[in-house]
């Protein structure tokens, strides 16, 4: 696998690779107020098992528990919203930090299909930004999903750049 920044990418050099394009965004904001969680929901720190189950529900054709290394996350950066009426996790997020360069990064935001477009993803992004405010100099996120890109931009992420994730094509 190769990772090439967009301004260094030359398609003619990578014809033997499958190319997946990700957009990386950065937030440098430090003026972040503690977010108020949406009415009817409560904030929780999920167990790794609960987070795995929720990810599987939200990404049935993509991320799977086997492809997510949940064991590396600090509990402080694993968050979930629970529907107060059902007691079930309906939105979750995980992030991490590189203390060496003081970069926080959000790995994913997952909202159960029935609960989308209610502001839960926005809440989780803002909750993580609030938690990062004293620990990092900036927070980054990478995505290939247009709806996720729009969510992060809505939450103040900018400084956009493109990355090409290149995997050698299989010869049959």
Residue 1: helix, strand or coil by DSSP?
coil
**Which of 3-12, 26-35, 65-74 is predicted with the least confidence, judged by mean pLDDT?**
65-74
Could you tell me the pLDDT band of residue 62, with boundaries at 50, 70 and 90? low
Q: pTM (2 decimals)? A: 0.83
Q: What is the mean pLDDT of the chain?
A: 87
Considering only residues 62 and 167, tell me which one the structure prediction assigns the higher pLDDT. 167
Count of domains forming the chain? 1
User: CATH code at 68?
Assistant: 3.40.630.30
- Under 8 Å between Cβ of 105 and 137: no
- 38, 118 contact by CB (below 8 A): yes
Domain that holds residue 125: 2-168
pLDDT of res. 127: 94
């Amino acid at each position: 696998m190769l990772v090439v920044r967009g301004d260094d990418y030359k398609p003619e050099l990578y014809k033997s690779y499958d190319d997946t394009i990700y957009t990386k965004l950065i937030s440098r904001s430090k003026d972040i107020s503690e977010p108020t969680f949406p009415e009817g929901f409560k904030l929780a720190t999920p167990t790794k098992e609960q987070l795995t189950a929720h990810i599987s529900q939200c990404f049935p054709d993509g991320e799977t528990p086997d492809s997510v290394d949940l064991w590396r996350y600090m509990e402080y950066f694993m968050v979930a919203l629970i529907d107060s009426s059902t007691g079930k996790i309906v939105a979750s997020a995980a992030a991490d930090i590189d203390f060496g360069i003081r970069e926080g990064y959000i790995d994913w935001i997952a909202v159960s299909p029935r609960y989308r477009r209610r502001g839960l993803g926005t809440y989780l992004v803002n909750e993580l930004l609030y938690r990062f405010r004293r620990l990092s100099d900036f927070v980054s996120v990478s995505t290939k999903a247009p709806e996720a890109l729009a969510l992060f931009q809505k939450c103040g992420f900018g400084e956009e750049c493109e990355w090409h994730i290149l995997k050698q094509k299989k010869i049959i």
